[in-house]
Structure 1
């Protein structure tokens, strides 16, 4: 009799345990599934940033035809810009087709992403890395390859006076915020990640002009992404938080998902790849175009020249040959 009662008790409690289990599973948000998957697959920000950029001086460029044989090159500029001049053997790939092109080439390839200034390429590099590809950004983009393409950086590396670029004050203390909302309709972390990467590739408003930010810094959650020594040496946007080496999946609660997040660095390239990572995680994030080079270029060039356009050691003026749409090679100048 006692055994029968025990048996009936077990039968009665199993459905309750099942319901509790289902309830626990139902409370796990897509954001939680996504961050868990990213943590398990080494997709934290430090992993994505590890070796993500290469200067033209660090490439093995053929001295005769100026090809870069160690890379599969994806040039993500417009078709017209590509036809005007590109690196030998580069493929012109639209951002919307980036994942398809990478899948066709295969994960055994090392990709070099090329754009006008290095900023869009940095974003594309980050998104490819999140999908498991070995990708790098050409620092400074085609602007560094030949002076014929340097216009974008030449016109944007400048000094810009603003009362909201300040040189005093310590970084403000960080607060704690709720998780951002991630809604894709997918069930598992891998599929959620792909959906978020695809959405990020389709996003066009991921960059923001310095005037928009400096005119109204209080409208944004601003992240200064460089070392404390640089904060002291070059100044910062008024009200910015310094979140650099500590930015990770474990510290995302320090970022306010209710505001537009603006990240800035020296050149706009590191902030672009960081912004891509934040976009995938559900933040409405934008990268400050051209970074601090668009605000305090002279000081950057005089200090740490490697982070300044045409700065000493920056690898921004390499002067290699290139090819136009007819296949004609244009010599270095």
Structure 2
């Protein structure tokens, strides 16, 4: 009898192990994340694909100087209706952010998304691209279209004195973390993606100010999105990682899903589209508003290091400071 009991115990070990593994694999939140990332990888929705050629400057390459319209694009202006009526690009259509995907499906042309500063437009552009729309963001937003609209950039580009912006030191060494939990209730990659994009369009707390971040940098998982040469030249937020080259579906393991991830770049525009991509993937992701332009603008605006002047508000070759005409009134 004792031998029989021992035999049964041995036989039960693999059964229990398989049951345990099955329970782990049946965590719906982890299953959705794995289904989503697999779908995105198979459908060319990695970060490099989403970022490919995503921004357009307001130049005569796209602007018709005869009437200051942008005829090759469906111009989607996502500012408030009040601000739209005060002035907008001729031919633009005023669209609420929450309705961007619905409107995009009947656009009939490549989409150019326009906002105040280029940051919200970048986010919406990324979300539309994840749904396979040909979408672009207007660099600098309406602030770069005509001086009448530039107040948000004028008031935010500058230098900010803080001990938590440092000029020396290496990036925090990368480490590996677990996966975020996604619970949409959907089962296919396409369904999960659409649900996550729709949720991201409803998210209005994706931006974060420099005072919040630089006041308490240890509260966040900070990711610097520029080359090491800019890191060395302009400095960085204390404690930041630099996952620029590693940020991809394969590199998601280097992000901590348990902390609020703050991505920062030169202008806040690239970080906004990256933040949207991470948001869809289940991370608590935010973008540093106005980027390094709000911290070390005077150092960047005349610098040729990594073409920083082109990434600085009113920098030479930046595409800001235009004087195109604008229309007024509703749609």
Same topology, TM > 0.5? yes
Describe how 1:67-82 pairs up with structure 2 within 5 A. Answer: 67-82=69-84
The answer to whether the 8 A contact 2:81-2:330 is kept is no
Question: 5+ residue gaps in structure 1?
Answer: 1-15, 328-333
Provide the residue aligned with 2:310 in structure 1. Answer: 306
Runs of 5+ unmatched residues, structure 2: 1-14
Distance in 2 separating the partners of 1:310 and 1:245: 28
> What is the TM-score normalised by the length of structure 1?
0.89
Partner of 2:200: 200
> Which residue number corresponds to residue 324 of structure 1?
328
1:59–1:68 Cα contact (<8 Å) kept: no
Coordinate RMSD, CA, aligned: 1.8
Q: Aligned partners of 2:290 and 2:61: how far apart in 1?
A: 23
Aligned to 1:270: 270
**Alpha-carbon distance in 1 for matches of 2:244, 2:60:** 25
Counting only pairs closer than 5 Å after superposition, residues 1-333 of structure 1 correspond to structure 2 as 26=26, 29-57=31-59, 59-106=61-108, 109-303=109-303, 304-325=308-329
Deviation at 1:326, TM superposition (A): 6.8
SS at match of 2:261: strand
Q: For each residue in 1:106-158, what CA deviation from the matched residue of structure 2 results, as whole angstroms up to 9, or x when unmatched?
A: 4xx20000000000000000000000000000000000100000000011001
Following TM superposition, by how much is the alpha carbon of 1:77 offset from its aligned partner in structure 2, in angstroms? 0.1
For 1:161-208, what per-residue CA distance to the aligned partner results, in whole angstroms no more than 9, with x for missing partners?
000000000112101100011110001110000000011000010000
Greater Cα shift, 25-34 or 138-147: 25-34
Q: Is the 8 A contact 2:179 2:257 kept in 1?
A: yes
Q: Specify whether residues 326 and 254 from structure 1 end up closer, same or farther in structure 2 by C-alpha distance, changes over 3 A only.
A: closer
Please state how far the C-alpha of 1:246 moved relative to its aligned partner: 1.8
Distance in 2 between the 1:111 and 1:139 partners?
14
Contact 2:263 2:275 in 1 (8 A): yes
1:245 positional shift? 2.1
